[in-house]
Amino acid sequence: MNQRYERWLAEFGGGGPEDLHDLVVAAIVSGDAIRLCRWLDDRHGPGAFSAMFQAGGYLAPQQTPSSRETRPGSGQPAV
């Protein structure tokens, strides 16, 4: 860990920086940030994860391939 990460853990981890670190590592390894998001929301209010990481669409429902719009004739998702 570097000092910047340790400061972040201390600031947002409150009395449980070790718990926050464990949740961050678990989210990175598993690719599932739900527990981390809930933990942050419980302590810092709804949407804390999105606000901290400027990731508004991170937890948005994923579109299925059939629901995506495609560019005509390309089969590629429309931008």
Q: What are the pLDDT digits (tens) for 23-72?
A: 999 999 999 989 999 999 888 888 888 888 765 555 555 555 554 455 55
If you ran DSSP here, which 8-state letter would residue 62 be given? P
| Chain center to CA of 28 | 10
pTM equals 0.62
**Cβ atoms of 17 and 10 closer than 8 Å:** yes
Provide the CA 72 distance to its chain's centre, in angstroms: 33
